[in-house]
Amino acid sequence: MDSRSYRNPRVDFPEQPGDAMHGQVRFEPGKALWMGLMTTGAVVGGALTMTTGAVAVFLITTAVTLCLGHSLGMHRRFIHRSYRCPRWLEHTFVHFGTLVGLAGPLTMLKVHDTRDWAQRQIACHDFFAHRQPWYRDLYWQVFCRIELDRPPCIRIEPEIADDPVIRRMETTWMAQQLPWALLFFTLGGWGWVFWGICTRVVVCVLRHWAVGYAAHNRGQQTWHVKGAAVQGYNVPWCALITMGESWHNNHHAHPSSPRLGLQPGQWDPGWWVLRALQRARLVEIPP
């Protein structure tokens, strides 16, 4: 399979070609402060307020934000447009994806598309390739950003870029947690806030990094993308907790597929939910 067989219409244009190799990794204080506050709330607040109910809220909200939010909403629909659904459902899913705590939806799209583009070049920066030791990659991905000397041109389609709901979620992505924090506090006190917000955000962000690091370094391979600087790997042991996102070798080969677990026995909870939504006539999956 050739890396040129997939072209993202948003990224890289002949009049402004990018360079995936040369750039600098910069510390980002805002990301560090955000993660510092969330980690403090998770470790200190979570330890002081741990109850069965608080842990249950953490498990339920983590499953919802990772499955409906990150996997189905942010990744398979908002970024890859791999299935169709009503605008209200997309907004709901993207909101849940924003609650994961990584960034706003437009930033997530730009970061994802830049990373995908870079990995399909002949050579790319270690930031995109996850080639550094795990502790440096963790620091880079969670607390930093990369500034390429010549970044690719990314043109987001108007239906996304001009969507007022998406734009509002982009500018208020951290504040999107506040209504839920208020609800949790009303229903269960500080324990529900520390576990349903802080612990969930920290676990989801670290899970996102850990799977990305593992899925670009080791695992099973069925497909090889010819000409790509970075190959993806399938990581079967975490398929369930990632809602199918760990079938990354499959995703590198078929990035537009709404189904990530392509082979028999490759569990893909996100796909199961998507099929259920299809049977309920809430989504349309292309043949």
pTM for this prediction: 0.94
Residue 286 lies in a domain: no
pLDDT in tens, 36-63: 999 999 999 999 999 999 999 999 999 9
Q: Is the pLDDT of residue 4 over 60?
A: no
pLDDT at position 6: 65
Which helix (H) or strand (E) is 27 found in, with range?
strand 23-27
Distances in whole angstroms, Cα of residue 130 to Cα of each of 64, 102, 184: 27, 18, 36
What is the share, in percent, of the chain residues with pLDDT greater than 90?
Answer: 91
- Asked if residue 59 is part of any domain, the answer here is yes
Q: Which helix (H) or strand (E) holds 48?
A: helix 46-48
Name the one residue in this structure whose structure tokens are 């049977």.
279
Residue 5 is predicted with a pLDDT of: 56
Domain assignment of residue 50, yes or no: yes
Range of the domain at 225: 3-279
Helices (H), the chain: 29-40, 46-48, 52-64, 87-98, 105-119, 126-129, 134-143, 158-161, 164-171, 177-188, 190-193, 200-214, 248-253, 269-279
Does residue 142 belong to any structural domain of this protein?
A: yes
The per-residue pLDDT for 1 is 58
pLDDT, tens digit, for every residue of 172-227? 999 999 999 999 999 999 999 999 999 999 999 999 999 999 999 988 999 999 98
Q: What average pLDDT does this structure show over 79-99? A: 97
pLDDT at residue 126, as a whole number: 96
Q: Which residues pair with 25 in a beta bridge?
A: 146
Looking at every residue in the chain, the average pLDDT score rounds to: 94
Counted domains in the chain? 1
Q: What is the mean pLDDT of residues 263-287?
A: 95
Residue 287 lies in a domain: no
State residue 167's pLDDT score: 97
**3-state SS assignment for residue 2:** strand
| Residue 257 pLDDT | 95
What is the reported pLDDT for 252? 94
Q: What is the distance between the alpha carbons of residues 79 and 115, in angstroms, rounded to a whole number?
A: 12
Residue 8 pLDDT grade (very low, low, confident, very high; cuts 50, 70, 90)? confident
Reading the block at residue 52, the tokens are: 């069965």
Residue 16: predicted pLDDT? 78
pLDDT at residue 215, as a whole number: 94
Q: 73 is written with which tokens? A: 């909403």
| Bridge pairing between strands 144-148 and 23-27 | antiparallel
**Does residue 162 lie in a domain region?**
yes
Q: What's the chain's length in residues?
A: 287
pLDDT at 266 over 70: yes
pLDDT of residue 49: 96
